[in-house]
Amino acid sequence: MSLLRLTHIGLCVSDCERSLQFYRDVLGFRYLSELQLAGEPSSTLLQLPDVELRAIYLERDGTRIELLHYPVPGHQGDGAPRPMNQLGLTHLSLRVDDLVGLLASLRAAGVRILDRTRIDIPAFEAGAVFVTDPDGTLIELVQAPGDPSAPPGA
């Protein structure tokens, strides 16, 4: 028996419509489908008694994300970006071709840009910065030379 493939990355969100607009309209993810579930067997799987949830599936460049909103029991957390050394999922990363131009567009759209994380490497026409989604999930934007489909360091 073996694993077949990665199916999706789940992100808990406080507002489905706001997060859908961000990932679809700002970052260019494509809407695929959605589910609304309540009670069993989801309560057992998720370990949330009497759960009610809405799951929205989006895809970009072969990566699928699942936006999870929990009307019951609600969400936890304050939306502050997690420290990079906190165990678990730390961030999503997107390759960009014009970091300066994209940041101007994101600012105009009201996206939170963590300017203190910005690095520039002019000799390589490279740079990176973190932004957040509406709930504080870190998203790394990287401009770098070379094949965007190659793994980092290759």
pLDDT digits (tens, 9 = 90+) for 98-151: 999 999 999 999 999 999 999 998 888 899 999 999 999 999 999 988 777 766
pLDDT of residue 115: 96
Locate the domains of the chain by residue range: 9-72, 78-154
- DSSP designation for 21: I
The two structure tokens encoding residue 100: 């300066």
154 pLDDT above the threshold of 70: no
Per residue in 74-89, pLDDT (tens digit) is: 999 888 888 888 989 9
Q: What is the model's pLDDT at position 136?
A: 95
Domains 9-72 and 78-154 share a fold: yes
Classify domain 9-72 at the CATH superfamily level: 2,3-Dihydroxybiphenyl 1,2-Dioxygenase, domain 1 (3.10.180.10)
58-111 confidence digits (pLDDT tens): 999 999 999 999 999 999 988 888 888 898 999 999 999 999 999 999 999 999
> Model's pTM, two decimal places?
0.90
What is the DSSP secondary-structure string of 50-69? T-EEEEEEEEETTEEEEEEE
CATH number among 3.30.70.100, 3.50.50.60, 3.20.20.80, 3.10.180.10, domain 78-154: 3.10.180.10
